[in-house]
Structure 1
């Protein structure tokens, strides 16, 4: 048996082939026979609220609900693109919302699960923005806006994010090693799985005299990416039709 991890799909109407790939993958045997499926954030390019009546949220809900109905638990940690996702959509989609920084036991190995953006501490401007938009007051204010206004706000935020990222040094947008170590020490683990940076890899390093492992999930811009964890190994690979 296996446990599967995906993140950073950034599903959007502008890339319909990736939504189709997501649906196809979730309907396949690997997912339907898994012990669990974890989605570690940025499932969509932008989430404007659980009341969004567009077709894409319904397609996502149908795909994940079918996995849940097949007896496979689906867990979700919000990313920087979909942190407005709430319990109402989770119930529709059949998945369980987890706090960022949750520790789950994977076949006897306690593992820290994160989206990963909070680890990018060198990007001071982003961290300040993150603190602002994650407050209950900011969320409530945005979700009280009409749906069309929220869509316009999301489009503006995406454009500004692209502009800012284009002029940032790449290292600033990667995780900070000290932040990684601090998060793992705080959780009491030597294994971490996260997304966000779009730099899929399995890193081994020393953490206080112990061999530690950090697995970075890949994005789904050009193809899919999945981490398959079993009791014996961890395999990070591409997903294609």
Structure 2
């Protein structure tokens, strides 16, 4: 059986070719897979599941895009593929309503799952970037249920404005940060593997696709980093019949 893992699509109305490419991948590549794991930042921004009520009346176009994507995922799920969604730092307000519409289950970050014949730690990856102190402070706020309840209680127009402000602030802040600060902290990776008793970690977030060997208490563990999708290229990890995970890029058309 085949398991597929993807991350960091950042779907948004401004990149329709990327959405079309993902839907084509979903229709051509995913059918027959035992499971599909989407490890966060599926959408560029998500202001709450009630956005779906706007339909074509959503001025941003996100509601219509999300409905198309949810319908395609639902078709895959009804054909027998288990679909799991993990929150990212862009779409941490994704809720049960969208998951149900997509035939998916929300997966906590972090989660240990059995893939093939091994336990694997799945994460979005942002919690590993502990050297970015400003972002970690925002992450604590954004994952606070009280803060989320307060935001979801705001009118949709105000939430849309807040999402734009957060994106602008993030882009400006990141442009002034050293590259290594925005990458994972090596000691945090080791601690995560040790705490969960596993030797394999898969995550996204950093947009730095690679496979890393990790010294874990005298044994060699492995960290797989998914890449972010572009209009012309996607990234996936494939696990087939207990084989080693395979990270690969592929063209989108």
Deviation sequence 1:52-80 (CA, Å, 0-9, x none):
13211101211211110110000011000
Give the Cα–Cα distance (whole angstroms) in 1 for the partners of residues 158 and 2 of structure 2: 42
Q: Secondary structure at the match of 1:32?
A: coil
| 2:107 pairs with one of 95, 98, 105 | 98
Give 2:239's aligned residue.
229
For structure 2, the residue ranges without an aligned partner over 5 or more in a row are: 55-62
- Would the aligned equivalents of 1:40 and 1:195 in 2 still touch at CA under 8 Å? yes
Q: Secondary structure at the match of 1:27?
A: helix
For structure 1, the residue ranges without an aligned partner over 5 or more in a row are: none
| 2:179 pairs with one of 151, 170, 177 | 170
Give the Cα–Cα distance (whole angstroms) in 1 for the partners of residues 178 and 126 of structure 2: 16
- Would the aligned equivalents of 2:92 and 2:142 in 1 still touch at CA under 8 Å? no
State TM-score, norm by structure 2: 0.93
Give 1:149's aligned residue.
158
Give the Cα–Cα distance (whole angstroms) in 2 for the partners of residues 155 and 106 of structure 1: 37
- Would the aligned equivalents of 1:10 and 1:221 in 2 still touch at CA under 8 Å? no
Aligned ranges for residues 197-216 of structure 1 at < 5 Å? 197-216=206-225
State TM-score, norm by structure 1: 0.97
Deviation sequence 1:79-117 (CA, Å, 0-9, x none):
001110111111111101011010001111100000000
Give the Cα–Cα distance (whole angstroms) in 2 for the partners of residues 15 and 89 of structure 1: 21
Give the Cα–Cα distance (whole angstroms) in 2 for the partners of residues 235 and 111 of structure 1: 14
Give 2:41's aligned residue.
42
Aligned ranges for residues 179-194 of structure 1 at < 5 Å? 179-194=188-203
Alignment coverage as a number of residue pairs: 240
Give the Cα–Cα distance (whole angstroms) in 1 for the partners of residues 170 and 149 of structure 2: 22
What's the CA shift for 1:204?
A: 1.2
Q: Answer yes or no: is 1:133 the counterpart of 2:132.
A: no
Deviation sequence 1:27-52 (CA, Å, 0-9, x none):
11x31111100000000100010011
Moved over 4 A (4+): none
| 1:117 pairs with one of 126, 132, 139 | 126
Deviation sequence 1:136-172 (CA, Å, 0-9, x none):
1100010011111111110111111111111100100
What's the CA shift for 1:129?
A: 0.8
- State the superposition RMSD in angstroms: 0.9
Give 2:19's aligned residue.
19
